[in-house]
Structure 1
Amino acid sequence: MSSLTDPSRRRAVVAGLAGLASIGAGALPTLARAAQASDTPETLRIGYQKSSTLMIWLKSRQTLEKALAPLAVNVQWHEFTSGLPLLESLNVGNLDLTADVADAVPPFALAAGANLTYYAIETPSPTAQAIVVRQDSPIRGVAQLKGQRVAFAKGAGAHYLLLEALAEAGLSMRDIEPAYLTPADARAAFERGSVAAWVIWDPFLAAVQRQANARILRDGTKLASYRRFYLAATPYAKRRPDVLALVYEELRRAGDWIKQNPGPAAAWHAPLIGLDAATVEAANTRRTYQVQAVDAASIGEQQRIADAFTGQGILPKKVTVASSPVWKPA
């Protein structure tokens, strides 16, 4: 039986302790630093807007905060008035992830050199945006917008809808007087009559219909499909695909719940965005909230939108949408 009184055994133990001391002086601090780094909380910065129903649902219930806690990831939320300033913030490194933006927004960001990754889409909701006029307006067709002042958010889905509606009526953007306004400013201008028409999306569309008796001149049916895209800063998407996977699954669940529970969903959402429940429920009937992986068809549509803006001289250069990465769920 071997013991520490055995000289050979004692020499082996001493050698082992010396080796352990050597590890303690060098490798162990490195391992400790690695362990500490993996436990250091990281912040995920998400941008959203009032139309970002699914992200607002997750935010209000702290779903992502709970789901990401085991990954040592905190969540920070930032609200924007519309999609273009949201993606501008993503482009300059102030955000890691965005909630949904309308299909016309990413081409503008790409034209500005944004390094973004597509990570999810909502299926088309063409009636969830429209050109509206006041109920007493003499304007009965899009062709009558010629020479008129029209309010919309630059680079929004509404911008593309207007572009296509004008083309359908034999007009172009040069035939109207654009008024680039945020939804709040556009609503005020619309109600006081300083613009002839307003191009807007839900829930603002439902609100102006119910509260100001606005009349729809043209929606996106057979004109602009109005998919909504979720995007990430490409460096973040490459570094944290695990976070994207988790956010993607939670978005899918949120979309399913909202469509299956329209009344309770509207009652929850209304006070968060300052509208009544009936208005929110009316808006939600026009949105599919069906979250899917980004496919070739949606990227092709993005290219057509980009080309339409380039053709009108609205984008300064050709954008190649397919050069942007697409994240795919496992």
Structure 2
Amino acid sequence: MYPNTRMRRLRNGKIGNLIRETSLGLDDLIYPMFVDETAESTVEVPSMEGVLRLPLSEVVNEARNVADLGISSLILFGIPSNKDEKGSSACGDEDIVQQATRAIKEELGDDMVVITDVCMCEYTSHGHCGIIDNETHDVINDETLPLLGEIAASHARAGADMVAPSGMMDGMVGAIRQSLDQENFSDVPIMSYAAKYCSAFYGPFRDAADSCYCFGDRSTYQMDPANSDEALREVELDIMEGADIVMVKPALPYLDIIYRIKQEFGMPTAAYNVSGEYSMLKAAAQQGWLDEKKVMYESLMSIKRAGADMIITYFAKEMAQLLNE
């Protein structure tokens, strides 16, 4: 009770560091990387300052730059040269993500954990995350599952350390686990986008990954932002099907979901600090309205404090530079 209890006593200098409850380190960061089969040189994404679409020839250099900063994990997204209704360019052994994965692993080996996004939206001509019924324009869940299994297995053959299915198809984790196990990749873990919301914060990503949809929206397979109990059901089902890590996406508007999932399941939990979260802070910093480094640090710390064990973030390189300082 005041004045005997003075909370300010422990907020001074290095004493404050001793009692800090949450820490943010290099091992918490996962760097998203876009590899573009159509690109001849590196291209900056207009809506995401500092985020690049890389030609295959630059992927290893970028991975090495990331490793030199002390970041030991990245997640790969591919932009193919050809798209069709079935996303056929997603699962070939010589397709773009598979080539990029092999190149990085051959150069960096165990110094870089390569995670691959397993979805179809970047590869389909319609931009949706699965096979489409051409009459109703609905995504056909069960016909999509074998294709996701094929994609995941092709990534594992290329050397991926982990696969990350993001399509929010019911049963996708089980289908991928079965496919991996059948090809003797039982040790390859699955990081499931288990609670992925139908969010307006994904807009800049669709510029980066060229994955805009041609009709409708994704509300039939991504989650309603109003729901939180549903997120726990989604996560529980993915765990039962074999997910090794569960993810919440987006992060900042859903800190309560991260907290609830971590408290309920105690599972390794990832959070995706998505493109819209990144771009709005960048835009505010450009206008001089916010201190970019401070809001970056505060935002990522809040995600960690909510319960995330790892954070996919476009701020990864800048955060690493700040931590290294």
**Do Structure 1 and Structure 2 share a fold, with TM-score over 0.5?**
no
Greater relative contact order (CA < 8 Å, ≥ 6 in sequence): 1
Q: Normalising by structure 2, report the TM-score.
A: 0.28
- Higher-helix-fraction structure: 1
Specify the structure having the higher radius of gyration (Cα): 1
